[in-house]
Structure 1
Amino acid sequence: MICVIADLRIRAGSQDEFFEAARAMLAATRAEPGCIRYDLEQSIEDSEHLTFVEEWETREALEAHFNTPHMADWRAASGPHLVDRNVKILHVGDVEVL
């Protein structure tokens, strides 16, 4: 399993436009083969700090996701609203459940 944690900072006042652009991308991504989870979270302490939390079956599924038309549309629509971004891809092995 592959996990992606993407922390974003958006421009002040751009939340409505950012989330409007995200809706179609979120729905299309969740329907992709290999997508286990794809969520967008907003900090309750800082409304300009957002986090994507993703889980993918394989690295290949994640790579295919990067190359979809809806992701190209998303990059174009979200770009003007982004101030900063930090993306981490985690390759998960064994996980012990407590």
Structure 2
Amino acid sequence: MVYIIAYLTAHKGKGDDVVVLAAPLIEATRREAGCITYDLYRKPGDPDALVFVETWKDKVAVDAHFEEPHLKAFQSAMADLLIEARIELVSPEKVEVL
């Protein structure tokens, strides 16, 4: 199994917009082959700080996810809403920043 932790920081007051735009992404991703869990959380006290916590069967499933149109559409929609995004891929061998 591999895990992805994606930290998103939205512009002030834009966290709600990110959550709304993420809903179709979450629904579609949960149906992907190899997706075990895919959840979005908000930092208590800071609604503009969000974290995706994902569990995948293997790296092949993650690579396929990164090619999905629903992920690419979400990334495009987020371009003007985010200050920062940091994605970490956690596997038994290492932690990679993507």
Common topology (TM > 0.5): yes
Deviation at 1:5, TM superposition (A): 0.8
Show the counterpart of 1:9.
9
RMSD (CA atoms): 1.2
- List 4+ stretches of structure 1 deviating above 6 A: none
Q: Secondary structure at the match of 2:90?
A: strand
Q: Secondary structure at the match of 2:76?
A: helix
TM-score by length of structure 2 reads 0.89
**What is the one-letter code of the residue matched to 1:2?**
V
Query: Hey, which of these two has a bigger chunk of strand by percent?
Result: 2
Query: Hey, which of these two has a bigger chunk of helix by percent?
Result: 1
Show the counterpart of 1:47.
47
Structure 1 segments unaligned to the other structure (5+ residues): 94-98
Q: Secondary structure at the match of 1:31?
A: coil
Does 1 or 2 have the higher relative contact order (CA < 8 Å, sep 6+)? 1
Q: Does 1:61 align with 2:56?
A: no
Deviation at 1:75, TM superposition (A): 0.8
Show the counterpart of 1:75.
75
Deviation at 1:45, TM superposition (A): 2.2
Give the Cα–Cα distance (whole angstroms) in 1 for the partners of residues 65 and 44 of structure 2. 28
Larger radius of gyration: 1
Structure 2 segments unaligned to the other structure (5+ residues): 94-98
User: Is the CA contact 1:3–1:92 (under 8 Å) kept in the aligned structure 2?
Assistant: no
Q: Secondary structure at the match of 1:80?
A: coil
Show the counterpart of 1:26.
26
Show the counterpart of 2:38.
38
Percent of pairs identical after alignment?
A: 33
